[in-house]
């Protein structure tokens, strides 16, 4: 068995759930199996944006982020569902529990993917046996397909898991790079976005192999320090460990939402800002964190996007403080054009236990007084389900569905 496990290196898995939201819906309702299914952020408003789709829908040209009307034109029989995040979160939790049964070295990176370091798990079998058994277990018990990449590091494992979908298992060793990885177009490399790919093509780097053999000084001139990092990755070099605690490292906590219609209505904008700061405060409270910088993002009707931020002298974590700064930034930088999307983010975030805040006597007394009020509000909120002091806004409109997840639940599988 030990011949399958290196004496010095690591054996890393990257597990990627296939068409996750759509697959969960099919597991929940088997009548959907084999049919073109799409999850759309909000089918009633903006005609919806495709969040994900089944492989049957993809075969007809349906893609993530495509507008729903375009998708239906390509695939008239498309079955469109609204996202059910609680359902996806439950499935994710059960999946990560299965990973944790094999090794404690599990690093979730999103709701539907994560890394495992199985170097010390040889009692479970060879790497390929572990991958096959895990894939079968997830498929049998959760009725969900996944692909697994097996490699000596995280980057290669991630690239490997993308090579065969659905239900693929791919091994990518360093000796395989020249024929499996290097011929791929540069934009297929993990970590290379559209803009980076454009810059690389401009210096005649068209494949991952071109990048691997590229001149490091030229790459650094075009991409900065990231140029050298990407060249190393293309050569199969990645020293990052699988870190189960990485999900607790966060520098910012934010919330953004698309408006039902492009608007210049200040009352609508103000209501949305209240909702966004509510979300941010709730997530900061969950993480017992505070931050010292506030950023707003404004996306206009023509998709032009601006971000503006303000650095503060002290840390904040309360809604009214966040909202005050966000509103100040908004009033200063909004050009009065119709707004499509708003985002509010608290940056330079740290856990309160790490923040050594020097309180003078007056600040201390002021904050100590507030804490009693906050304690009473929390007690009433637990009893009645919501903060009784908050004004109820847009109750008749209902909660806007979200199309993305915060990562503050990714350690639920440990509980």
State the CATH number of the domain containing residue 323.
Answer: 3.30.1490.100
What range defines the domain where residue 142 resides? 2-19+87-176
Q: Are residues 277 and 375 in the same domain?
A: yes
Q: Is 349 contained in some domain?
A: yes
Tell me the residue ranges of DSSP E strands in 27-112. 37-40, 50-53, 79-81, 106-110
- In order along its 415 residues, the chain shows pLDDT tens digits of 556 667 778 999 999 999 999 999 999 999 999 999 999 876 555 457 888 999 999 999 999 888 888 999 999 999 999 889 889 999 999 999 999 999 999 999 888 999 999 999 988 999 999 999 999 999 999 999 999 999 999 999 999 999 999 999 999 999 999 999 999 999 999 999 888 999 999 999 999 999 999 999 999 999 998 999 999 999 999 999 999 887 766 678 999 998 889 999 999 999 999 999 999 999 888 878 889 899 999 999 988 889 999 998 888 889 999 999 999 999 999 999 999 999 999 998 887 766 643 333 334 444 445 555 555 555 555 554 444 444 333 333 333 444 444 555 677 777 7
Q: Are residues 143 and 213 in the same domain?
A: no
Q: Is 369 contained in some domain?
A: yes
Q: Are residues 216 and 96 in the same domain?
A: no
pLDDT of residue 285: 87
Q: Are residues 15 and 115 in the same domain?
A: yes
pLDDT digits over 146-174, tens only? 999 999 999 999 999 999 999 999 999 99
Helix-, strand-, coil-residue percentages of the chain, each rounded to 5: 45, 20, 35
pLDDT of residue 394: 37
Q: Is 196 contained in some domain?
A: yes
Q: Are residues 311 and 406 in the same domain?
A: yes
pLDDT of residue 100: 95
Please identify, among 176, 194, 218, the residue that sits at the C-terminal boundary of a domain: 176
pLDDT of residue 251: 77
Q: Is 392 contained in some domain?
A: yes
Q: Which residues are annotated as a binding site?
A: 16, 112
pLDDT of residue 29: 96
pLDDT of residue 36: 97
CB atoms near residue 246 (< 10 Å): 16
φ, ψ of residue 267 in degrees (nearest 5) = -65, -45
pLDDT of residue 353: 67
Reference 52, options 42, 39, 62; nearest CA is 39
Q: Is 391 contained in some domain?
A: yes
CA angle centred on 27, ends 117 and 60, rounded to 5°: 95
* Alpha-carbon Rg for the chain in angstroms: 24
Q: Which residues, listed in sequence order, are joined to residue 148 by a DSSP beta bridge?
A: 15, 169
pLDDT of residue 379: 55
Q: Are residues 331 and 368 in the same domain?
A: yes
pLDDT of residue 80: 93
Q: Is 376 contained in some domain?
A: yes
pLDDT of residue 389: 43
Question: Who's near 346: CB < 8 A, 6+ residues apart?
Answer: 252, 253, 254, 280, 284, 291, 293, 294, 295, 316, 317, 322
Q: Is 122 part of the annotated catalytic residue set? A: no
pLDDT of residue 360: 36
Q: Which residues are annotated as a binding site for Mg(2+)?
A: 16, 112
Q: Are residues 97 and 218 in the same domain?
A: no
| Distances, alpha carbon 378 to alpha carbons 229, 275, 281, 372, 384, in Å | 46, 18, 13, 10, 10
> The domain that contains 157 carries what CATH number?
3.30.70.270
Q: Is 38 contained in some domain?
A: yes
pLDDT of residue 3: 61
Q: Are residues 396 and 378 in the same domain?
A: yes
Q: Are residues 64 and 165 in the same domain?
A: no
Please identify, among 130, 156, 176, the residue that sits at the C-terminal boundary of a domain: 176
Q: Are residues 379 and 319 in the same domain?
A: yes
Helix (H, G, I), strand (E, B) or coil at 153: coil
Q: Are residues 122 and 38 in the same domain?
A: no
pTM: 0.68
Helix (H) or strand (E) holding 280: helix 266-287
> The domain that contains 194 carries what CATH number?
1.10.150.20
Please identify, among 153, 176, 199, the residue that sits at the C-terminal boundary of a domain: 176
Which position among 44, 113, 129, 245 bears the catalytic label?
113
> The domain that contains 39 carries what CATH number?
3.40.1170.60
Q: Are residues 406 and 280 in the same domain?
A: yes
Edge-first strand order for the sheet with 289-300 is: 252-263, 339-351, 289-300, 305-316
Q: DSSP assignment, residue 386?
A: S
Q: Is 300 contained in some domain?
A: yes
What domain count does the chain have? Answer: 4
Tokens of 61: 């040209």
């Amino acid at each position: 068995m030990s011949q399958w496990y290196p004496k010095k290196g690591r054996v890393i898995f990257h597990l990627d759930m296939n068409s996750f939201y759509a697959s969960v819906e099919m597991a929940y309702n088997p009548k959907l199996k084999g049919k073109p299914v799409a999850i759309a952020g909000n089918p009633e408003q903006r005609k919806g944006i495709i969040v994900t789709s089944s492989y049957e829908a993809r075969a007809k040209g349906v893609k993530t982020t495509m507008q729903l009307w375009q998708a239906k034109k390509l695939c008239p029989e498309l079955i469109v569902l609204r996202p059910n995040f609680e359902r996806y979160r439950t499935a994710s939790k059960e999946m990560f529990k299965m990973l944790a049964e094999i090794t404690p070295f599990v690093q979730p990176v999103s709701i539907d993917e994560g890394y495992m370091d199985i170097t010390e798990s040889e009692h479970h079998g060879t790497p390929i046996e572990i991958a096959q058994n895990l894939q079968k277990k997830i498929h049998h018990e959760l009725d969900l397909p996944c692909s697994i990449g097996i490699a000596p590091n995280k980057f290669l494992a991630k690239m490997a898991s993308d090579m065969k979908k659905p239900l693929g298992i791919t091994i990518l060793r360093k000796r395989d790079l020249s024929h499996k990885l290097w011929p791929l177009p540069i934009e297929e490399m993990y970590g290379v976005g559209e803009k980076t790919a454009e810059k690389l093509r401009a210096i005649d780097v068209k494949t991952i192999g071109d990048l691997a053999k590229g001149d490091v000084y030229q790459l650094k001139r075009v991409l900065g320090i990231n140029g050298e990092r990407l060249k190393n990755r293309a050569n199969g070099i990645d020293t990052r460990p699988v870190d189960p605690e990485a999900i607790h490292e966060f520098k910012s906590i934010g919330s953004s939402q698309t408006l039902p219609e492009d608007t210049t209505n200040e009352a609508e904008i103000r209501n949305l800002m209240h909702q966004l700061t509510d979300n941010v405060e709730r997530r900061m409270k969950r993480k017992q964190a505070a931050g010292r910088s506030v950023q707003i993002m404004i996306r206009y009707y023509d998709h032009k996007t601006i971000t503006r931020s303000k650095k503060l002298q002290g840390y904040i974590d309360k809604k009214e403080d966040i909202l005050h700064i966000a509103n100040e930034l908004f009033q200063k930088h909004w050009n009065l054009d119709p707004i499509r999307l708003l985002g509010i983010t608290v940056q330079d975030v740290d856990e309160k236990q790490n923040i050594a805040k020097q309180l003078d006597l007056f600040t201390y007394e002021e904050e100590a007084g507030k804490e009693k009020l906050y304690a009473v509000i929390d007690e009433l909120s637990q009893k009645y389900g919501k903060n009784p002091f908050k004004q109820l806004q847009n109750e008749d409109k209902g909660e806007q569905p979200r199309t993305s997840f915060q990562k503050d639940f990714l350690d639920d599988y440990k509980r």
